A = this chain, B = another copy of it.
């Protein structure tokens, strides 16, 4: 029996988009079970003294990330449109509400579809994922009842759950997204997705 894998994702993260779109098919090939756990990079970056994404702090790194995302999306057959640099929906987008909705949605069988649609809305269609109207539409399209999900997203228990995910991520040593854990074994980056799943299969 392969070990279970936890997929740690942040909605504002570009490389988390690639993994969110790819992980189910790769996991299925290997018979691996994956738990999706949304978390927030903000508090983790803050703890390192960063006020924004390192892709904004280091322009050369940021510039190449966007180009790499174009290349990698094309390689994987995924739609991708780089946000215009002067777009008010700046990078990174505010992802807290989307993450809380995801926590509610992931209890349902349409939850992963909702998560993927949040990424597509952001990185292919240029939508603002912090806008409640965007989320409302995505929940309904995925198969949920928006009023119920948004109510749950604002509940104390959901806020606590997201905070607990951030704490758990930090104590597992996460410092970026996406990340994958197999027990205490940590893999960072979309380019380690296959390694993490293989690890789950090949480790005793």
Comparing A4-12, A60-68, A133-141, A147-155, the segment that makes contact with chain B is A60-68
Minimum C-beta distance from A179 to chain B (A): 9
Assess whether A191 is interfacial by the CB under 8 Å rule. Answer: yes
User: Which A167-204 residues have a C-beta within 8 angstroms of B?
Assistant: 173-176, 185-189, 191-192, 195, 199
| Contacting pair B195 A67 (CB below 8 A) | no
The reply to whether B175 and A64 contact each other, CB–CB distance below 8 Å, is yes
Using a CB-CB cutoff of 8 Å, which residues 117-173 of chain A contact chain B?
A: 173
Asked if B60 contacts A195 (CB within 8 A), the reply is: no
Within 8 A of B (CB), among A25-72: 48, 58, 60-61, 63-64, 67-68, 71-72
Minimum CB–CB distance for A109 against chain B, Å: 33
Query: A58 — nearest CB in chain B belongs to which residue?
Result: B48
- Kindly state whether residue A75 has any CB partner on chain B within 8 Å: yes
Number of interface residues of A (CB under 8 A): 24
- 0/1 interface trace, chain A 71-85, chain B, CB 8 Å (1 if under): 110010000000000
A60, A67, A175, A191 — which one has the most chain B CB atoms within 10 A of its CB?
A: A60
The answer to whether B173 and A64 have CB atoms under 8 Å apart is yes
Shortest Cβ distance from A195 into B: residue: B71
A188 touches B63 (CB 8 A): no
Closest to A47 in B: B60
Is the Cβ of A61 less than 8 Å from the Cβ of B192?
Answer: no
Task: Compute how far the CA of A176 lies from the CA of B175 in the bound complex, rounded to whole angstroms.
Answer: 18
Interchain nearest-CB distance for A79 vs B (Å): 19
Q: Which residues of B contact A71 (CB under 8 A)?
A: 195, 199
B75 with A175: CB separation less than 8 A: no
Instruction: Considering the complex, give the chain B residue whose CB is closest to the CB of A61.
Output: B175
User: Within 8 Å CB of A188, what residues of B?
Assistant: 64, 68
Residue among B48, B64, B72, B173 making CB contact with A186, cutoff 8 Å: B64
